[in-house]
Amino acid sequence: MVLATARFKQQTDELRQRTDEFTQKTSTKLFKLGSQLNRVTGYEQIEVLKQRVVEQEAKIKATRQAAREAKTAYDDAVLQRSLSQRQVNELLQRKSSWTDSDVSAFTSLVRSDHHLEQHEVATKAKVSENEDALDREFGELMRAILARYHEEQVWSDKIRSASTYGSMMVLGVNVVVFILAIVVVEPWKRRRLAQTFEKKVEEIAAETQALIESGSTKLDERLVKQERLISEIVERAAYDARDLPSSLPVPAVTLSVAGKQEHSSIWSHPVSRMVQDREVLLVVGSAIAGGAVTLMARNLFGS
């Protein structure tokens, strides 16, 4: 049980590993195929412009942050200089009562005010520079967006043109196939159908001919058998008629030979005479056999 569980786990791990490898290979191949398709259709340039727009947006964000920081530094510099000037003005208001410490403080304030003025000018220049940089980056962003839009329009027109030409080609191929079907395929199909029909008719005719020949052969065999049977019957009748008395009445039989009716009494002569006239009995037997043959032929082949 433990071995079976371990083996099943091993097979499961191998199957999972193979699945992961197949998925990774498939993803790589699809990515390469997409890259090649973009390179062929020219969409790779649009991807470059998209990346440029993203980078430009990041630059604008950084420039805007720097401009915001420079604005804050400038505001701080203005505030510090305002405080310094207020202190200087307070000292100037009581200039008549200055002490040594006030003189030192005034000197320090004047020096500090000079540095704050320079810092204010520098931060103001920094703010102006950042604002100009922000305007430039924004302009670059607009140009990048316009370039991307232009390339996307060009690519869309190219794809639309290719789609139009492709549709026209497909339509042309369909027209050619339709014409070929009318000119070549349909006559071939008609000839093939006619040949098949003729072959089928010939097969049916051959089967019918074979059936007729078989029926004729069987009919001939039955006729031969009927003739033999009639001959045996006539011979037996002639043989049995020898023992009949000569005083028996003889019925009159009407025979139709070659379109003429003849009334004769086959029993009007002695029995020995009837034996000699076996041909008359054969004619009667042939007529009976002909009727039987006709009846059997109708039963075999129908009306």
The amino acid that residue 81 corresponds to is R
Q: How far apart are CA 207 and CA 39, in angstroms?
A: 70
Q: Using CB atoms within 10 A of its CB, is residue 45 exposed (0-12), middle (13-18) or buried (19+)? A: middle
Average pLDDT over residues 100-120: 81
* pLDDT band, very low/low/confident/very high, at 1 (cuts 50, 70, 90): low
254 φ, ψ (degrees, to nearest 5): -95, 120
Residue with tokens 């430009």: 56
- Helix, coil or strand: residue 270: coil
Is residue 265's pLDDT more than 70? no
Distance between start and end Cα atoms, the chain: 84
Is residue 130's pLDDT more than 80? yes
Q: What would you report as the CA-atom Rg of the chain, rounded to the nearest whole angstrom?
A: 64
Is residue 252's pLDDT more than 50? no
Query: For 132-142, how does the pLDDT look when each residue is reduced to its tens digit (9 = 90+)?
Result: 988 998 999 89
Closest CA relative to residue 286, chosen from 276, 278, 297 = 278
* pLDDT band, very low/low/confident/very high, at 253 (cuts 50, 70, 90): very low
Residue 263 is given by DSSP the state E
Higher pLDDT, 274 or 157: 157
